[in-house]
Amino acid sequence: MRSDEIKAHFSRAPNRALLRSLGVTDREMDLPFIGIANAYNTIVPGHTHLRQLGEKVKEGIAAAGGVPFEFGTIGICDGIAMGHEGMRSSLPSRENIADSIELMVDAHRFDGIACVGTCDKIVPGMLMAAARCNIPAIVLTGGAMLSGYQGGKDLSLIDIFEGVGRVAAGTMSEDALCDLERCAMPGCGSCQGLYTANTMACMTEAMGMSLSGCAAIPAVDAAKIRIARETGEAIVRLVKDGTTPRSIITRESLHNAIRVDMALGGSTNTVLHLMAIAREADVPLSLEDFNAIADQVPHICFMQPSGPHSMQALYRAGGIPAVLNRLLKHLDDTPTVDGTTIRQIAAAARVHDETIIQSTDHPVSDAGGLKILKGSLAPDGAVVKCAAVPKDVWRHAGPARVFDGEPSAMRAILAREIREGDVLVLRYEGPRGGPGMPEMLSPTSALNGFGYKRVVLVTDGRFSGGTRGPCIGHVAPEAAAGGPIAFVRNGDIIEVDLYAKSIDLRVDAQEIAQRKKGWKPITKPLKGVLDRYARTVEQANLGAVQR
Residues 37/127, Cβ–Cβ less than 8 Å: no
Sort 72 into a burial class: Cβ within 10 Å, 0-12 / 13-18 / 19+.
Answer: middle
> What are the C-alpha distances in Å from 349 to residues 73, 136, 177, 317, 342?
34, 26, 41, 11, 11
> What are the C-alpha distances in Å from 382 to residues 231, 234, 447?
37, 39, 21
Residues 317/352, Cβ–Cβ less than 8 Å: yes
> What are the C-alpha distances in Å from 342 to residues 252, 260, 323, 332, 521?
11, 12, 12, 8, 47
Cα-trace Rg, the chain: 23
Q: Are strands 471-476 and 456-459 parallel, antiparallel or unpaired?
A: parallel
What length does the chain have? Answer: 547
Residues 455/418, Cβ–Cβ less than 8 Å: yes
Measure the CA–CA gap between 330 and 262, rounded to whole angstroms: 12
| DSSP string of 50-111, one letter each residue | HHHHHHHHHHHHHHTT-EEEEEE-----HHHHTTSGGGGGHHHHHHHHHHHHHHHHHHHT-S
Q: What phi-psi label fits residue 288: left (phi over 0), alpha (psi between -120 and 50 degrees) or beta?
A: alpha
Instruction: Pick the closest to residue 435 from 346, 528, 507 (CA basis).
Output: 528
Element (DSSP H or E) covering residue 116: strand 112-117
Phi, psi values for residue 4, rounded to 5°: -60, -20
What angle is formed at CA 243 by the lines to CA 255 and CA 13, rounded to 5 degrees? 140
> What are the C-alpha distances in Å from 515 to residues 215, 398, 401, 522?
48, 21, 17, 15
Residues 459/425, Cβ–Cβ less than 8 Å: yes
Measure the CA–CA gap between 93 and 106, rounded to whole angstroms: 20
Q: Which residue type, as a one-letter code, is found at position 306?
A: S
Residues 58/232, Cβ–Cβ less than 8 Å: yes
Annotated catalytic residue, options 90, 267, 464, 502: 464
Q: Would you call 281 helix, strand, or coil by DSSP?
A: coil
Instruction: Pick the closest to residue 169 from 449, 400, 361 (CA basis).
Output: 449
Active site residue 464: yes
Q: Residues with catalytic annotation? A: 464
